[in-house]
Structure 1
């Protein structure tokens, strides 16, 4: 039978994984709904957000400016993460999420995107935060008119 210490450690691990999965959901929800407070709540103070091979932002202030720029060029966005693979080691962790999304540009055209997020996490004051997120885009294509559903 496991000891109380072992049970507490296992419970902490499960709660940590759930908290990290929630970070990914809040990241998507904050970005898609243009809720800056929710979006910024997932990042550690010195976090790095690498949005492409040659473009990264460091710290919440730069990250806030970067998402604000994205919002200027998109009418709407929807994206979801799945297939979480999270590893923990004490107060740090790493993870991978598949990501699927659709964005609408200002001209009304839509694009479908598939990729992956590569993450690092840190626990600060008993709260898990993203310390780095690298976005890898594997596929990006226009959504054809025939694929859209009219409201």
Structure 2
């Protein structure tokens, strides 16, 4: 199964995009997300948040507010399944996300990112992202009820 140099390059660029997202969120560098998503990206976090979805500005504002509840986060992405089709691609990527709560304790989230990528003049970008929940452990919202 020989892959072309273009396909290998595309896969590496998309993989870098997934890692760049993780670093941007964990370092709280919200403006770095502008170079990861298309300007008209649709982002759906309802699987883990219950209600948040929208454009990039909406997600950046949400992250800025909610990440204050965590002193440390790590988005550990792995096992990406990328399907290329010319200038578009789809992907399914595992994420294990431990989050240290500022109030004490650690919350764990396991999910998959379901992405649609597009090749732009600036390189590959995420045009659509949704989450599929695998597990939540020690979610403080469940203890509040």
TM range (shorter): 0.7 to 0.9
| Partner residue of 1:132 out of 110, 128, 133 | 128
Gaps of 5+ in 1: 1-6, 144-151
| Partner residue of 2:71 out of 72, 75, 81 | 75
For the residues of structure 2 that align with 1:17 and 1:96, how far apart are their CA atoms?
13
Q: Which has the higher contact order (CA 8 A, sep 6+)?
A: 2
Map 1:30-69 → 2, pairs under 5 A:
30-53=24-47, 55-69=51-65
User: Larger Rg: 1 or 2?
Assistant: 1
- Aligned CA RMSD, in angstroms, stands at 2.0
Q: Give the deviation of 1:32 after TM superposition.
A: 0.6
- TM-score (norm. length: structure 1): 0.81
For residues 35-79 of structure 1, what are the alpha-carbon distances to aligned partners after superposition, in whole Å with 9 as ceiling and x for unaligned?
A: 123233210011111111453433332222122122222222111
For the residues of structure 2 that align with 1:20 and 1:43, how far apart are their CA atoms?
12
- 2:17 aligns with 23
Q: How many correspondences in the alignment?
A: 136
Gaps of 5+ in 2: 140-145
Q: Report if aligned partners of 1:98, 1:117 keep a CA contact under 8 Å in 2.
A: yes
Range that drifts further, 102-111 or 57-66: 57-66
- TM-score (norm. length: structure 2): 0.84
- 1:146 aligns with none
Change (3 A) 1:126 1:14: farther
